[in-house]
Amino acid sequence: MKIAVIGPGAMGLMLAARLKQAGSDVVLLDYRAERAAQINENQVALDHPEGSERLAIQVTADPAALGGVDLAVVCTKAYHTQEVARTLRAHLAQTARALTLQNGAENVETLVEALGPARVLGGITSEGATLLRPGHARHAGRGQTHIGPAQGPVDAFCQEVVDLLIAAGFDTKGVEGVQNLIWTKLVINVGINSLTAILEVPNGRLLELPPAGKVMAAAVAEAVSVGQAMGVKFLHQDMLRAVQEVAHRTEANISSMLQDIRASRRTEVSYINGAVVRQGEQVGVPTPVNQTLTQLVQAREAGYLDQ
Ligand code: PAF
């Protein structure tokens, strides 16, 4: 199976490197030609607990490279998904499929609109990756990966992708009902990311600040109500406890949203707390706490982004 990994962020680099190490035919797509050329020149570097490696992975900004692949793994920020979906529709072969492993709630839908449900897989991963510099990532921690088709049961193609990921060293399972996974991960991000970004604290600190804990509980309760109204079956009975456990397990982590704020980058808040607000409007569930969190993070972004 020939694979394109789209987006040379921490997750994209780590995934491309691990697949390449396992002998897969991988190309990495970057929409910035200059950075693609730079990574090609220096090669992809991956640090991990056992050492460090350089891998000769082809990096290109030419979307025509998608024409020859069987699978495109989308690892971009959620605010690039619309553009990625248009590119995939234009260049991906009819028999090829796309898999999204991004943060946020609406990526599967966006890809399905462009490619149709039969050509889309979605998933979540708790593998930890950190971007050190362009083309250089650290595989920080091991986790679990779950993927499944946008519609219907795990089929032969999905199983082939599961086997490929297992061969690349990822603990992966194929599952039916991918929205349940994506919403479970979304609620965890809803409870942690925006609060850590607003308060400028590592994840674990949220558990030591009772007022922050109350906002977390309210944001999580809204997101769970929206998900349930949409028919989502969460993987944990008590989602607040699940969020608290993740905050505890990752207590020293700087959340991806706080990392974005610190680096003056656009955040994914519109696709996390903002997605809860949008979906809440669709199903008639009020979401004032998520709306406020979204606006507070956007107010921080306004300090450095061109509006
Ligand atoms: O986005 C993140 O930072 C992570 O998904 C999580 C789980 C909140 C840990 O930092």
Last residue of a domain, one of 176, 195, 217: 176
In this prediction, residues 141-163 reach a mean pLDDT of: 95
Last residue of a domain, one of 146, 176, 206: 176
**In this structure, are 170 and 187 located in the same domain?**
no
**In this structure, are 160 and 34 located in the same domain?**
yes
Q: What's the pLDDT score for residue 143? A: 85
Q: What's the pLDDT score for residue 307? A: 55
**In this structure, are 98 and 187 located in the same domain?**
no
Looking up residue 231, the CATH number of its domain turns out to be: 1.10.1040.10
- Please give the Cα distance from 266 to 107 (Å, whole number): 17
**In this structure, are 157 and 205 located in the same domain?**
no
- Please give the Cα distance from 79 to 262 (Å, whole number): 18
Based on the residue annotation, tell me whether 233 is a catalytic residue of this protein: no
What DSSP element (H or E) covers 162?
A: helix 156-167
Amino acid at 15: L
**In this structure, are 32 and 62 located in the same domain?**
yes
Q: Which residues of 183-197 are buried (b: 16+ CB within 10 A; e: fewer)?
A: bbbbbbbbbbbbbbb
Dihedral class, residue 173 (left if φ above 0, else alpha if ψ from -120 to 50, else beta): beta
Q: What's the pLDDT score for residue 127? A: 87
Q: What's the pLDDT score for residue 153? A: 96
Residue of 75, 131, 192 to test ligand 1 pocket, by largest number of atoms within 8 Å of CB:
192
**In this structure, are 188 and 260 located in the same domain?**
yes
Q: Is the pTM of this model over 0.75?
A: yes
Q: Catalytic one among 2, 20, 173, 185?
A: 185
Domain total for the chain? Answer: 2
What is the distance in A from the centroid of ligand 1 to the CA of 225?
Answer: 21
pLDDT band at 142 (very low <50, low <70, confident <90, very high): confident
**In this structure, are 166 and 199 located in the same domain?**
no
For residue 1, pLDDT beyond 90: yes
Looking up residue 40, the CATH number of its domain turns out to be: 3.40.50.720
**In this structure, are 76 and 142 located in the same domain?**
yes
132: number of Cβ within 10 Å: 13
In this prediction, residues 107-129 reach a mean pLDDT of: 95
Q: Is 189 in the pocket of ligand 1 (CB under 6 A)?
A: yes
In this prediction, residues 143-170 reach a mean pLDDT of: 96
For 66-101, the pLDDT digits (tens) are 999 999 999 999 999 999 999 999 999 999 999 999
Cα atoms in the 13 Å half-sphere on the side-chain side of 174: 20
Last residue of a domain, one of 156, 176, 196: 176
* Structural domain harbouring 67: 2-176
For residue 184, pLDDT beyond 80: yes
pLDDT band at 253 (very low <50, low <70, confident <90, very high): confident
**In this structure, are 15 and 85 located in the same domain?**
yes
In this prediction, residues 222-232 reach a mean pLDDT of: 98
**In this structure, are 153 and 93 located in the same domain?**
yes
**In this structure, are 127 and 195 located in the same domain?**
no
